[in-house]
């Protein structure tokens, strides 16, 4: 059987695994990434679009932010609307920070290129099937590649393999508590060759459901509609999608060609332990947040920053304190982000009948948002991302 050896075995070439690899490589630590999909597939998987200030700084430190700075769109605020009445949240005024709009698939392309340029081995179309001996100092990952079984021996295993990955399934069940909410609605998302008719993102509550106007460039819009969980994409013609978006957003849109559409369920999920021996989880493997707060990718980067620091401290100073504190370090940020994502989700989505107690409470939150700078600041500082130091 083919056997390879490295220091850190990483499962998954998503934002978490790739960023971790680059952080470790910068410290002279060797790693190998095992990814079950092809390079083409992961580079074209459409997902997130909004990078926190923190995340951009991490990419700058890693020397992978050139294209992001050329092509990304820097936003200093966003709009939150209630049935057509709009309040701008001014990030600049409240936080002196900003966010950058840059598609996750572009991030992934940049990270993969940097990994390969720096001689980090990524084995694509290789499926990790088992994580062995992780309670010892000699763990390994069994995987299949090109129809053959193979083994990756390593000192540490990073489970950065997403929500359905092997990492969390391997973590002993008795080592963690699980928390989750399944929301009774989903997002129908589109990408279209259209010029954005809005300058910043719009989060819109509407009595027929939530809508979000985002973008990818000056020529490509990313837009979302709240739909029921059992909705089928075939039920929505392109024309219906545009009509409903204009209705809920209350603005005219440039109705270009829709070239991607899909439905995503909304859930909050987390576990409160991310480590068992030499196995560490990070990113979506450990937590999912509903996309209303735009936090999933950013949280993945915050996790691996802690993990890379812990692993570096181990190799450079023989000190395991940071590794042993890894869960604690990550989980306080995860709870903050869970709260904010849940808050934005409940704030912006239609849940209750017009005129009901719940709906009137929800309306009251928007009225308060328009009158209170403090409320706006709370949203702004969570949205742009609390600094890493806040959780040190």
Q: Residue 276 is encoded by which pair of tokens?
A: 């068992």
315 is known as an active-site residue? no
Pairing of the two strands 202-205 and 77-82 = parallel
Dihedral sign for Cα atoms in the order 267, 17, 312, 51: negative
75 is known as an active-site residue? yes
Dihedral sign for Cα atoms in the order 102, 64, 119, 23: negative
Q: Which residue has the tokens 């508590």?
A: 177
165 binds, among ligand RFL, ligand PHB, none (CB under 5 to 8 A by kind): ligand RFL
Angstrom distance (rounded) from CA 186 to CA 265 = 4
CB 332 to ligand RFL: min, Å: 18
CB 90 to ligand PHB: min, Å: 17
CB 260 to ligand PHB: min, Å: 11
CA angle 345, 16, 160 (to 5 degrees): 100
The arrangement of strands across the sheet holding 99-101 comes to: 50-51, 99-101, 73-75
With respect to ligand RFL, which residue has the nearer C-beta, 104 or 226? 104
Nearest Cα to Cα of residue 138 among 120, 122, 163, 156: 156
Q: Residue 36 is encoded by which pair of tokens?
A: 């079950």
CB hemisphere CA count around 51 (13 angstroms)? 27
Dihedral sign for Cα atoms in the order 198, 204, 80, 55: negative
14 binds, among ligand PHB, ligand RFL, none (CB under 5 to 8 A by kind): ligand RFL
CB 124 to ligand PHB: min, Å: 25
CB 126 to ligand RFL: min, Å: 6
With respect to ligand PHB, which residue has the nearer C-beta, 294 or 311? 294
The one catalytic residue among 82, 224, 326, 383: 383
283 binds, among ligand PHB, ligand RFL, none (CB under 5 to 8 A by kind): ligand RFL
350 binds, among ligand PHB, ligand RFL, none (CB under 5 to 8 A by kind): none
The one catalytic residue among 82, 102, 203, 224: 203
Q: Residue 34 is encoded by which pair of tokens?
A: 């095992």
With respect to ligand PHB, which residue has the nearer C-beta, 140 or 214? 214
With respect to ligand PHB, which residue has the nearer C-beta, 20 or 294? 294
326 is known as an active-site residue? no
With respect to ligand RFL, which residue has the nearer C-beta, 166 or 271? 166
Residue nearest ligand PHB, Cβ-based: 49
162 binds, among ligand PHB, ligand RFL, none (CB under 5 to 8 A by kind): ligand RFL
Query: DSSP string spanning 276-344?
Result: ETTEEE-GGGTEE--GGG--HHHHHHHHHHHHHHHHHHHHHH---HHHHTHHHHHHHHHHHHHHHHHHH
- Residues near ligand PHB (CB under 6 A) are 48-50, 201, 214, 222, 291-292, 294
- Residues near ligand RFL (CB under 6 A) are 11-17, 34-37, 42, 47-50, 104, 127-128, 160-162, 165-166, 187, 189, 264, 283-284, 291, 294-298, 300
The one catalytic residue among 15, 139, 196, 291: 291
The one catalytic residue among 53, 94, 295, 349: 295
Q: Which residue has the tokens 């990419």?
A: 59
With respect to ligand PHB, which residue has the nearer C-beta, 25 or 214? 214
CB 23 to ligand PHB: min, Å: 25
Residue 302 Rama label (left phi>0; alpha psi -120 to 50; beta):
alpha
Q: Which residue has the tokens 């963690």?
A: 176
Bridge partners of 89, per DSSP, are 78
With respect to ligand PHB, which residue has the nearer C-beta, 157 or 302? 302
The one catalytic residue among 53, 75, 287, 329: 75
The DSSP letter of residue 110 is H
295 is known as an active-site residue? yes
Residues in the chain: 392
CB 221 to ligand PHB: min, Å: 9
291 is known as an active-site residue? yes
* Residues known to be catalytic: 75, 203, 291, 295, 383
């Amino acid at each position: 059987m083919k056997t390879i050896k490295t220091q850190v075995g990483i499962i998954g070439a998503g934002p978490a695994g790739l960023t971790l690899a680059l952080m470790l490589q910068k410290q002279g630590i060797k790693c190998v990434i095992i990814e079950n999909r092809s390079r083409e597939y992961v580079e074209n998987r459409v997902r997130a679009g909004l990078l926190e200030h923190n995340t951009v700084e991490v990419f700058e430190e890693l020397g992978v932010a050139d294209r992001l700075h050329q092509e990304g769109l820097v936003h200093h605020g966003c709009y939150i609307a209630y049935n057509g009445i709009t309040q701008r949240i001014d990030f600049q005024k409240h936080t002196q920070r900003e966010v950058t709009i840059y598609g996750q698939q572009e991030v992934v392309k940049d990270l993969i290129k940097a990994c390969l340029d720096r001689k980090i081995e990524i084995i694509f179309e290789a499926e990790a099937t088992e994580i062995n001996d992780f309670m010892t100092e000699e763990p390994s990952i069994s995987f299949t590649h090109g129809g053959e079984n193979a083994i990756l021996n390593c000192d540490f295993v990073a489970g950065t393999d997403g929500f359905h990955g092997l990492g969390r399934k391997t973590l002993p069940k008795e080592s963690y508590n699980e928390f989750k909410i399944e929301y009774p609605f989903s997002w129908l998302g589109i990408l279209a060759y259209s010029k954005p008719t809005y300058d910043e993102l719009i989060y819109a509550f509407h009595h027929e459901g939530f809508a979000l106007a985002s973008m990818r460039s000056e020529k490509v819009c990313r837009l979302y509609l709240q739909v029921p969980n059992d909705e089928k994409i075939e039920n929505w013609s392109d024309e219906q999608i545009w009509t409903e978006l204009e209705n809920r957003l209350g603005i005219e849109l440039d109705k270009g060609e829709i070239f991607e559409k899909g439905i995503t369920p909304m859930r909050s999920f987390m576990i409160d332990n991310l480590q068992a021996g030499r196995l560490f989880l990070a990113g979506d493997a450990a937590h999912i947040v509903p996309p209303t707060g735009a936090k999933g990718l950013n949280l993945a980067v915050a996790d691996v920053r802690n993990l890379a620091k812990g692993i570096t401290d181990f190799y450079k100073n023989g000190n395991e304190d940071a590794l042993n504190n890894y869960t604690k370090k990550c989980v306080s940020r995860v709870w903050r982000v869970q709260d904010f994502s849940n808050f934005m989700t409940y704030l912006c989505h239609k849940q209750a009948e017009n005129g009901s107690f719940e709906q009137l409470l929800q309306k009251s939150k928007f009225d308060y948002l328009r009158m209170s700078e403090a409320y706006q600041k709370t949203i702004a500082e969570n949205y742009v991302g609390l600094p890493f130091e806040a959780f040190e």
